[in-house]
Amino acid sequence: MSHPALSRGYEVVDFGSLPGTPCPCGTARRAFGDTEDFPGTIHVTEISETARTHYHKKLTETYFFLECEPDAQMQLDDEVIDVRPGMCVLIRPGTRHRAIGKMRVLIVVFPKFCPEDEWFDAPDSALT
């Protein structure tokens, strides 16, 4: 028996219908985690003002900024950069990162997202 998604050649996800999952950044809606023939996951994440600095040992994340406040920033290790809608940041494994300010981002993750690959330094090194 063939897999229905494979037989039609595509899958469609309505992020508005996906449940929100708490994450260090705010609330994530994650797609394609159970899709066997796709090697990553796609997330739409609402970033809160209290995003925690974290890193991944295996995952590469690509943040595409859909919406953000004029003073939005990203902390990437010891550097802080300004971000705006339309920008994209690739974050390699081991890079400590967090978004600063409220924003909505599309995150592409390779390989598939795994919550066990979210790591935090003690104490949390977020900027205050």
* Residue 104: both structure tokens together: 């909505």
| pLDDT of res. 50 | 74
CATH for the stretch 40-114 = 2.60.120.10
Distance between CA 34 and CA 16 in Å, rounded?
A: 18
Per-domain residue ranges for the chain? 40-114
Q: What is the pLDDT of residues 20-75, one digit of tens each?
A: 999 988 999 999 999 999 999 999 999 987 789 999 999 999 999 999 999 999 99
* Summary mean pLDDT of the chain: 90
pLDDT reading at 93 higher than 70: yes
The CA-to-CA distance between both ends of the chain, in Å, stands at: 55
Nearest to 93 by CA among 119, 65, 75, 74: 119
Cβ atoms of 61 and 51 within 8 Å: the answer is: no
